[in-house]
Amino acid sequence: MNCSGRANLFAQKLNVLVVDDHPLFSDAMALTLEVVLENCTITTASTLQETFEVLDTQDAPDLVLLDLKLPDVSGISGFISLRERIPKTRILVISSIASYELVQSLLKEGASGFTPKDACAETLKYVIGEVVSGRTYVPKRYRTGRAREAEINIYETTPELSRLTPQQIKILKLICVGKPNKQIAYELSLAEATVKAHITALLKRLGVRNRTQAVVMVEGVMARQFGSEPEARAFLQH
């Protein structure tokens, strides 16, 4: 888009919904939006339930800026529920929680883009321009084959994870992005009872007691390989 096109875009009236459970970040995001968008109405919500209550009282927004880590959701279930509620709205995920598998799962479920929480105002302005214009934005590191290969390699080269079978690895990856057993069964064309049996077996092989501990183990491996942030670890424990 040329400069004049972007100027026209940001001059349009946009209704934006910011969904984040941290008041300071939510307020900062609202202030940033007022700077980068010339004409917008901003509504905020701190939980998925509050988001639905907002949607009950007004028209669907043009854009939603969504943090994944909300107190009343697990994994990407909140995003999926919101996507179903407002299928035509562009949803940009802004979060410190990130991996190739997670970002790709969000795109598969209909996200319009992803950007880290620490993006500067200029980057945010560019990203919003791309998303509102109908394009999809994802940072390069989460769309390259190299990123995918790096994450695949941890399942082959680390002692904790290399003991899993290929099917168990597929299931564990889906667990790590918050998919319930029923959805895992659907995506892998398995019976739900079979998925449960695989999960029981993979938990035993990993030496952990439940799904949460399995996810924490994977995040620990990721942290050693690529670095990680405390918020990402906290999210994966839900």
What pLDDT, in 10s, does the model give residues 195-215? 999 999 999 999 999 988 888
DSSP 137: B
Percent of the chain with pLDDT over 90: 37
Q: What per-residue confidence (pLDDT) applies to 200?
A: 96
- As a whole number of angstroms, the distance between CA 36 and CA 56 comes to 28
CA atoms within 13 A on the CB side of 123: 12
- For residue 142, pLDDT beyond 80: no
220-236 b/e (C-beta count within 10 Å ≥ 16 → b): ebbeeeeebeebbbebb
* pLDDT band per the 50, 70, 90 thresholds, residue 145: low
Every domain of the chain and the residues it spans: 3-142, 145-236
CB atoms within 10 A of CB 160: 17
Supply the pLDDT for residue 113.
94
**SS3 (DSSP) at 104:** helix
Instruction: Determine contact, residues 171/188, Cβ cutoff 8 Å.
Output: yes
Angle at 18 between CA 12 and CA 21, to 5 degrees: 170
* More confident site: 71 or 235: 71
CA distance 115 to 96: 8
Classified as helix, coil or strand, 90 is strand
pLDDT in tens, 106-132: 888 999 999 888 777 778 888 888 898
CA of residue 173 relative to chain centroid, distance: 14
Looking at the predicted structure, is the pLDDT value of residue 53 above 90?
yes
Superfamily of segment(s) 3-142: Response regulator (3.40.50.2300)
Structure tokens at 225: 């390989």
Confidence of residue 95 (pLDDT cuts 50, 70, 90): confident
Are the CB atoms for 63 and 111 separated by under 8 Å?
no
Asked if the domains at 3-142 and 145-236 fall in one CATH topology, the answer is no
What are the residues facing 14 on neighbouring strands? 40
Helices assigned H by DSSP within 133-165: 145-157, 159-162
Cβ-contact 114, 98 below 8 angstroms: yes
* pLDDT band for position 191 (cuts 50, 70, 90): very high
pLDDT at 163: 87
The rounded distance, in Å, linking the Cα atoms of 55 and 86 is 9
- Predicted confidence band at 7 (pLDDT cuts at 50, 70, 90)? very low
Residues 6 or more apart whose CB falls under 8 angstroms from that of 68 comprise 76, 78, 79, 93, 95, 97, 235
What pLDDT score does 149 carry?
Answer: 56
Global pTM reads 0.64
What is the fold, at CATH topology level, of the domain defined by 145-236?
Arc Repressor Mutant, subunit A (1.10.10)
